[in-house]
A = this chain, B = another copy of it.
Amino acid sequence: MVSGLVSRSLSRVREMVANATGRNGEPTEKQLDRIRRQLRECAESRGGEVSTRLRAARLADTYLKLDDAGRQAFLRIIALEFGPDPQRVAKAHDAYQAAVGTPRQWDAEAQMRAAMRSSRIRILTQFNAIPQGVKFLVDLRADLLRYLEHDKELKALDRELEARLTAWFDVGFLELQRLTWNSPAALLEKIVQYEAVHAIQSWKDLKNRLGSDRRCYAFFHPRMPLEPLIFVEVALLQDLADNVQKLLDENAPVADAERANTAIFYSISATQEGLRGVSFGNFLLKRVVDDLQRDFPRLQTFATLSPIPGLVRWASRNPKDVMAAFSEADWKRLATAGIDGPESPRLAQILAGNPEWATDPALVRALRDPLLRATAAYLLEAKRDKEPLDPVARFHLGNGARVERLNWLADTSEKGLGQAWGVMVNYLYDPERIVDNVGAFVEEGRIDAAAGVKRLARR
């Protein structure tokens, strides 16, 4: 079964191992052979499943002690040496095709599936025996995804592992938990670490985000108990929020949640790189909306206050589309604010995300209209394949939301100004339109947007 390719691959494994550095990280060729032998034992379950699992646990431990080069070598062995046997597959496939249209088709299909079954997933599953087994495999996939960027031969392994993780992290197994100030400190510490949208500055900031007019929900897997998979932070308000700094102000008075009519999802963070491609974010929002409606029957509006992470990047690559958003009137106003035209180097810097303009009231006024227009164009028209270019837009529009409102100077942090000129967007989840929106979005790529936003984009 060791074809020419495999032996070439293995020599590359050895090479990588030879080049690898780090704390007792690089397996020698001898160690590699030992690993290979152990993997084979795992694959064959020699000595019974129980003892195999125990030995697999030791192998998992070995993996954890390897450095990146060693781990990649380890994973390549699994990927390249424990796949299906092409000849067996060919035979099963022949039988299958011959059976199509006859009553034997379904048995033949089952046989072909058996031939396709590789030992890779059998090996990986056995690692599940260690105490934090599920987390181990999720982290292993995160490694794998990194190596995969430059090593396409790992792809079959990645796809098998992704399929297994998709089965394990089926949304039916996930538990929705509300996080509060009574949650374990070790768990809240993870929220601080994982928050990817608006960094949490301190425990005081965190406590503020868990106040009586706030909610924080996370999905958990029963075997990763203190590890939130994805979490959302919600503010209960009287109106659509238009500024995130106001929302996060620790000194702002606590609102009366009982009187709120609007729930703003102002931060959603997925935490496990190793679960890329395993989707549950949309279920999280659905479950959270259900929970909020039960607790606060007055809530009528569910919307986000979202960043637009790709805006400035897009602008730098599509200067013409940006310029098209500037009218004659805009240029006049800009001239009085010290920007003398499209070629102005200062304007270039502004468009590239340099935040200094935000403290100049004249510039703030003059830039408002054209930049909001450019933003609307970006959100509604910039596509990758048929989907929105902006990843956050892709997520919410794919879930059936609509682009409700753009907010000027809504995130004046350096990050906010740097990635999106401080603009933020409210995506609105209108229960009556969600299903239609998802349908139109998936089938025709159509985006639902409020009239005001469409008007901006049209200019």
Contacts and interface: CB of A to CB of B under 8 A. Distances in A.
A379 B402 CA distance: 70
A96 B84 CA distance: 11
Interface stretch (A97-105, A240-248, A387-395): A97-105
Interface string A95-134: 0110011110111011011101000000001001100011
Given A116-B116, A172-B128, A185-B181, A101 B5 contact: yes
A3 interface: yes
A283 B49 contact: yes
Contacts of A335: none
Interface stretch (A349-357, A369-377, A434-442): A434-442
Contact of A47 (B107, B171, B439): B439
A204 B390 CA distance: 37
A128 B170 contact: yes
Contacts of A156: 105-107, 109-110, 113
B105 A5 contact: yes
A368 interface: no
Given A172-B128, A173-B223, A184-B182, A48 B105 contact: no
B438 A48 contact: yes
Nearest to A182: B184
B159 A103 contact: no
A96 B89 contact: yes
B53 A5 contact: no
A400 interface: yes
Contacts of A155: 106-107, 110
Interface in A125-172: 125, 128-129, 133-134, 152-160, 163-164, 167-168, 170-172
**Which of A154, A170, A436 has the most chain B CB atoms closer than 10 A to its own CB?**
A170
Given A51-B434, A223-B172, A113 B152 contact: no
Contacts of A329: none
A46 interface: yes
A188 interface: yes
Interface residues of A, number: 83
A113 B84 CA distance: 11
A17 to B, nearest CB: 20
A396 to B, nearest CB: 12
A90 interface: yes
A361 interface: no
Nearest to A3: B101
Contact of A106 (B83, B89, B90, B129): B83
A183 interface: yes
Nearest to A286: B50
Contacts of A4: 101
A293 interface: no
B106 A3 contact: no
Contacts of A40: none
A223 B171 CA distance: 12
A42 interface: no
A223 B175 CA distance: 10
B154 A48 contact: no
28 contacts: A3-B101, A4-B101, A5-B102, A47-B435, A48-B398, A48-B399, A49-B279, A50-B282, A50-B283, A50-B286, A50-B399, A50-B434, A86-B97, A89-B97, A90-B97, A93-B93, A105-B156, A107-B152, A113-B160, A113-B163, A134-B172, A168-B170, A168-B173, A173-B222, A181-B186, A182-B185, A182-B186, A183-B185
